[in-house]
Amino acid sequence: MARSASTSTPARASGTFDLAPGLTVHRLGFGAMRITGDGVWGPPADPEAARAVLRRTLDLGIDFIDTADAYGPDVSETLIAETLHPYPEGLVIATKGGLTRQGPSQWAPVGRPTYLRQCVEMSLRRLRVETIDLWQLHRIDGQVPAADQFGEIARFVDEGKVRSVGLSEVGVAEIEAAQDAGLTVATVQNRYSLGHREHEDVVDHCDAQGIGFIPWYPLDAGKLSDSDVLTEAADRLGASHAQIALAWLLRRSATMLPIPGTSRVAHLEENTAAAEIDLPDDLFEALDAATRETA
């Protein structure tokens, strides 16, 4: 049984995080990958339902929406602008570039500086903004010198096209390399959840440095899905397993910024209600111990 929100804007209960000076968001956001077609390819089966989800995010107090030019491709960014522009004050839309699409569920990195510049320019156009609040390199392209990619991204900031910068699917060494190249890394977006914890060192590094950590696929409980410890936590707190997974992430680090995605309003409301769950020490520690063993 899922827990319902006790306030009209439950996302605000997740606390806040400063992406950059003057750029503050509530920690529980929304990932806009699922408002596209199967395989993150093409338009959604029900475009109006996708628009309803986007509109409902604002009602729930969500002010951080994460998307990418590769979602669709172009579909997610276009839907966001069509639905929410002109954007309300305080809404932060983060996007990503550097992955190309060859078909459903197919992704290939391209990090040539000229291509990254095209990504930024087209995202600016589709999102109808003059500056992207948070632009993330979707993947570092191993076929292009990393310094060339980081250098071009630094120029986006200098030119006012991008306000803050993030990296995706990187280790500590790559974060430090980007910083050594002159980038201020505001966020890191890696796969991380109760069931997928291989990036513990990155989470700890981000926590220590005040870098926002955006876990993608945050609802994955892995082998823990049917475990006694997760069921006990859900039963005690009157929540669903997914809500416990999100509550655990929010408790894991003050720099954690979960972005659960969905194409259904009811699921969005359930996910956002997780921000109001106060996970007690014993349950947090039991989940932590169990998932370190099974992940």
Q: Which residues are known to be catalytic?
A: 71
Residues 6 or more apart in contact with residue 118 via CB below 8 angstroms: none
Question: Residue 54 and residue 65: Cα distance in Å, rounded?
Answer: 9
- CB contact at 8 A, 243 and 3: yes
In which residue are the tokens 């991204």 written?
A: 153
Dihedral pair phi/psi, residue 7, rounded to 5°:
-130, 170
